[in-house]
């Protein structure tokens, strides 16, 4: 999926074709190209390729991009970029923690780059964060190369566990105030799609939430056309398991799309913008760059077309009836 291409400034295909010298006025550049769907590709210029590698589970790359700074790429899918990852991580973390009356311990499924832990550890009420990622090489890679999260990785409140999230949740007695799904997208052959299923949510995850606990997960593309890939069925699946379910979305420039999250609980999730702002002021160290109360209420007010689609969604995510975003994992 993700490819590095050398072009002469004209869209002329992938590869370094030395048989044609670039015309005057054009500069040969190195580009990262990601195939978003069959007839659509997204690419941007690179300053350099900082590191590439592979683990048992996925291919790994760290690119220095011209428009978005350092970018982490797993299995050919951009995971986060330096200039706008704060939008994704603030949206993933803060709504759930702010809706909880007093969050003290949190379990992260995935989150190996450390940015989710970083945002969690800004909350003054937090005593413990367990970050459980299956891929030790990704975690070590991010510790070494993502300087922005260095402080989080060294925070005494963070416990890093290398394990499958299902096995870790089922194997321990501990329960949590908040569980966060910061998993890679469900792609065919990827390591994570089984952690988006109804059985997992119902039998493994929900029993590990304390009374009043909240679950939130990233839920893939949520654009006017792309939301039917996985966003709508993840929402519908969580509606089968939890009493209150809130979908919301935001534009992530480096993803070239609107992105979605779904928050779920058996307790109401209905704070006003003013209440959210007050809790942010009291609980969070330093101000958010993106999210405040009005922004969250705006993010959870989806367009008419997407609302109708989610309300009419009937598909329930199971291992036998999984949906995937476009692309494929290392083991496909």
Considering only the top CATH level, what class is 84-312?
A: alpha beta
* pLDDT at position 20: 40
Name the token pair of 232: 């709508």
CATH second-level architecture of 31-80? Roll (2.30)
* pLDDT at position 301: 98
Phi/psi at 228 (5° precision): -80, -10
Whether 256 contacts 225, CB under 8 Å: no
DSSP conformational letter for 284: B
Percent helix / strand / coil, the chain, rounded to 5 = 30, 30, 35
Do 31-80 and 84-312 agree at the fold level? no
* pLDDT at position 329: 54
* pLDDT at position 231: 97
Whether 1 contacts 36, CB under 8 Å: no
* pLDDT at position 281: 98
Listed by start position, the domains of the chain span 31-80, 84-312
* pLDDT at position 192: 86
* pLDDT at position 331: 55
Rg (CA), the chain: 20
Whether 62 contacts 68, CB under 8 Å: no
List the pLDDT tens digit at each of the 332 positions of the chain: 466 665 543 333 333 334 344 444 445 579 999 988 888 899 999 999 998 888 998 889 999 999 999 999 988 889 999 999 999 999 999 999 999 999 999 999 999 999 999 999 999 999 999 999 999 999 998 999 899 999 999 999 999 999 999 999 999 999 999 999 999 888 787 778 899 999 999 999 999 999 999 999 999 999 999 999 999 999 999 999 999 999 999 999 999 999 999 999 999 999 999 999 999 999 999 999 999 999 999 999 999 999 999 999 999 999 999 998 776 555 55
Q: What are the residues whose beta carbons fall under 8 Å from the beta carbon of 150, sequence distance 6 or more?
A: 143
- ∠ CA(144), CA(145), CA(150), 5° rounding? 65
The catalytic residues are 182
Report the side by side order of strands in the sheet with 77-81. Answer: 3-7, 29-37, 40-54, 59-65, 69-74, 77-81
């Amino acid at each position: 999926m993700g490819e590095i291409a050398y072009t002469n400034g004209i869209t002329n295909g992938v590869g370094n074709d030395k048989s044609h010298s670039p015309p005057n006025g054009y500069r040969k550049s190195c580009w990262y190209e990601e195939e978003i769907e069959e007839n659509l590709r997204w690419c941007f210029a690179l300053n350099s390729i900082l590191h590439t590698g592979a683990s048992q589970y996925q291919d790994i790359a760290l690119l220095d991009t011209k428009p978005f700074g350092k970018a982490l790429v797993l299995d050919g899918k951009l995971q986060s970029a330096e200039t706008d990852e704060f939008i994704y991580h603030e949206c993933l973390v803060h709504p759930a923690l702010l809706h909880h009356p007093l969050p003290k311990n949190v379990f992260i499924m995935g989150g190996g780059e450390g940015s989710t832990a970083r945002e969690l550890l800004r909350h003054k009420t937090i005593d413990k964060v367990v970050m459980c990622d299956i891929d030790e090489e990704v975690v070590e890679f991010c510790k070494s190369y993502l300087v922005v999260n260095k402080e989080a990785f060294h925070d005494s409140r963070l416990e890093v566990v290398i394990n499958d999230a299902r096995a870790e949740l089922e194997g321990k007695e501990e329960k949590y105030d908040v569980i966060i799904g910061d998993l890679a997208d469900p792609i065919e052959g990827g390591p994570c799609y089984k952690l988006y299923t109804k059985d997992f949510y119902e039998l493994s995850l929900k029993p590990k939430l304390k009374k009043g606990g909240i679950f939130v997960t990233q839920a893939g593309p949520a654009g006017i056309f792309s939301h039917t890939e996985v966003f709508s069925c993840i929402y519908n699946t969580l509606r089968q398991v939890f009493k209150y379910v809130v979908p919301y979305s935001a534009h992530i420039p480096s993803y070239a799309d609107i992105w979605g999250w779904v928050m779920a609980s058996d307790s109401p999730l209905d704070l006003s913008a003013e209440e959210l702002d007050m809790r942010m002021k009291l609980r969070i160290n330093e101000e958010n760059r993106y999210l405040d109360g009005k922004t969250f209420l705006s993010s959870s007010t989806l367009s008419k077309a997407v609302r109708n689609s989610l309300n009419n969604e009937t598909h329930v995510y199971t291992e036998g009836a999984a949906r995937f975003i476009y692309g494929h994992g290392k083991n496909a």
